[in-house]
C-alpha cells in the first residue's frame, strides 16, 4: 500500500496507507459511529462531498455486493478506516471493499488512529479535509482544505436529484429468493428527490404506494396535477436553506394532501412553515441515536445522517415538536395535524440500522387512507 495523508483545514494531519482509488480527494471530514453497513453508507446520496470516517475499528469483513446499494454508486468522496479487510467472508460478496472503492474512483486511507480522529472532529467540529496518496506535502494539503468552501449555503440536492420523473413500483426485495410481487395498489404518491435512498421507495411500495419520483425543483402545480394521494419529501445532502425553491413548493402543498418528510425533507418542511435551520458542530451520523417520542414517551434507537438541524424556537406556534434527540435535545420530529403533515430527522428505513421506526411508513399510509 502507498503512503497516504489526511489533512484537515485546522492544520491537523494523519498518516496512513492508501486503499481503494489512489490519488487525491477533497471533502468535508465527518464520522459515522455505525459498526456495520458501510456499503449503504457510502451509497447514501446524503454523503455527497464528504469524507466518511468509520469510528468502528475494522471494515470490509463482508466485502461488497449489488444488493446493499442505496443508489447506483458511492456518493461519499473518501473513506477513512482503522483497518480494512481485503478478504471478505460472506457468500453475498462479489468483491472486496477496496476493489469496490477503486472501481468507483473513491479514495480511502487506512492504518491511522481513527479514535483520535473522531475525538478531534467531535471536539473541533466537522471540517474540510483532503486525502492524498500523490506525494503532496502536508502543508500544501492543509492549505487546500483550509481554502475549500464548506457545506453551508451549498445546494447539493438539486445537483444529484433525478433530471426526469419516473415511476417506482418495486417492493422490498428478499435476501433469498426472487423479488416479491408488489402489494395491492392503494395510493399514488409523489416523492421529491433531494437525494433519496432506494430503500425509502421500497418501503412506500410495501404500503401499497405507486411512487412517482420527481426532480427537487418541481413546482407544486405540477405535483398537484398528478393528483397524488400523498407527498413524500426525501433525504439529501447539503444545506436545506439553499435548495432552490423547495420550501416554497412545499408551502404551497401544505394542507392539500398528506405530507411525510425524512431528514432533509424534514428540514425543508420546517422551512416551508417559516422555521429556520442551522449547521451543527459535527452532526449525527450512526445507527445508535436515542430519540424520544414526546407524544408516547417511548424511546427509539434510530439511524441518522445529517449535519444540519431545525431550530425549535423558530417553529413555536407553527408546528408541534414530536421527537427529541436524547443526546443533545435537537429536534427529531414535527407534526402539523391540521395539514396532515409530519416529518422526522432520523431515518426510519434504517439501511443500515435498527427497525424501531419503520412503522412511520404505515402511519403515512393511514393518513392517506383518512385515518
Known catalytic residues are 263, 347, 349
CB 344 within 8 A of CB 333: yes
Grid coordinates belonging to 80: 477513512
Cβ partners under 8 Å of residue 43, min gap 6 = 68, 69, 70, 71, 72, 73, 74, 75
User: Strand 24-32 relative to strand 127-132: parallel, antiparallel, unpaired?
Assistant: antiparallel
Edge-to-edge strand ranges of the sheet holding 209-215: 166-168, 209-215, 187-193, 230-233, 259-262, 341-344, 331-336, 320-325, 277-293, 299-310
Grid coordinates belonging to 262: 425524512
CB 239 within 8 A of CB 151: yes
Q: How many helices (H) and strands (E) does the chain have?
A: 10, 19
Grid coordinates belonging to 143: 492549505
Cβ partners under 8 Å of residue 91, min gap 6 = none
**Rounded to an integer, what distance in angstroms lies between the CA atom of residue 360 and that of residue 125?**
32
Residue listed under C-alpha cell 433469498: 176
Q: DSSP characters for 23-56?
A: SEEEEEEEEE--SS-HHHHHT-GGGTTEEEEE-S
Q: Name the β-bridge partners of 308.
A: 279
Task: State in Å, rounded, how far the first CA of the chain is from the last one.
Answer: 58
Amino acid at each position: 500500500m502507498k503512503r497516504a495523508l489526511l489533512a484537515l483545514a485546522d492544520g491537523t494531519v494523519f498518516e496512513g496507507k492508501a486503499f481503494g482509488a489512489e490519488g487525491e480527494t477533497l471533502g468535508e471530514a465527518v464520522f459515522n459511529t455505525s459498526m456495520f453497513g458501510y456499503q449503504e453508507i457510502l451509497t447514501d446520496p446524503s454523503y455527497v462531498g464528504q469524507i466518511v470516517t468509520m469510528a468502528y475499528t475494522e471494515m470490509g469483513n463482508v466485502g461488497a455486493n449489488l444488493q446493499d446499494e442505496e443508489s447506483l454508486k458511492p456518493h461519499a468522496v473518501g473513506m477513512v478506516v482503522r483497518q480494512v479487510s481485503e478478504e471478505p467472508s460472506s457468500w453475498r460478496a462479489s468483491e472486496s471493499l477496496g476493489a469496490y472503492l477503486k472501481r468507483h474512483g473513491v479514495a480511502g486511507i487506512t492504518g491511522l488512529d481513527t479514535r483520535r480522529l473522531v475525538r478531534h472532529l467531535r471536539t473541533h467540529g466537522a471540517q474540510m479535509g483532503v486525502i492524498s496518496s500523490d506525494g503532496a506535502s502536508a502543508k500544501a494539503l492543509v492549505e487546500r482544505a483550509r481554502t475549500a468552501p464548506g457545506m453551508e449555503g451549498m445546494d447539493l440536492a438539486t445537483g444529484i436529484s433525478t433530471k426526469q420523473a419516473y415511476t417506482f413500483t418495486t417492493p422490498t426485495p428478499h435476501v433469498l429468493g426472487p423479488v416479491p410481487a408488489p402489494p395491492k395498489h392503494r395510493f399514488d404518491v409523489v416523492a421529491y428527490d433531494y437525494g433519496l435512498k432506494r430503500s425509502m421507495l421500497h418501503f412506500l411500495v410495501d404500503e401499497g404506494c405507486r411512487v412517482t419520483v420527481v426532480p427537487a425543483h418541481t413546482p407544486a402545480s405540477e405535483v398537484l396535477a398528478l393528483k397524488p394521494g400523498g407527498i413524500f419529501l426525501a433525504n439529501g445532502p447539503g444545506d436545506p436553506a439553499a435548495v432552490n425553491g423547495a420550501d416554497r413548493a412545499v408551502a404551497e402543498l401544505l394542507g392539500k394532501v398528506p405530507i411525510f418528510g425524512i431528514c432533509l425533507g424534514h428540514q425543508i418542511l420546517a422551512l416551508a412553515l417559516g422555521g429556520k435551520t442551522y449547521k451543527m458542530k459535527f452532526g449525527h451520523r450512526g445507527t445508535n441515536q436515542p430519540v424520544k417520542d414526546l407524544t408516547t414517551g417511548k424511546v427509539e434507537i434510530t439511524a441518522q445522517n445529517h449535519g444540519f438541524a431545525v431550530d425549535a424556537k423558530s417553529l413555536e406556534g407553527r408546528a408541534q415538536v414530536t421527537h427529541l434527540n436524547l443526546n443533545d435535545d435537537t429536534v427529531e420530529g414535527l407534526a402539523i395535524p391540521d395539514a396532515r403533515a409530519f416529518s422526522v430527522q432520523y431515518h426510519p428505513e434504517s439501511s443500515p440500522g435498527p427497525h424501531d421506526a419503520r412503522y412511520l411508513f404505515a402511519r403515512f399510509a393511514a393518513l392517506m387512507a383518512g385515518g
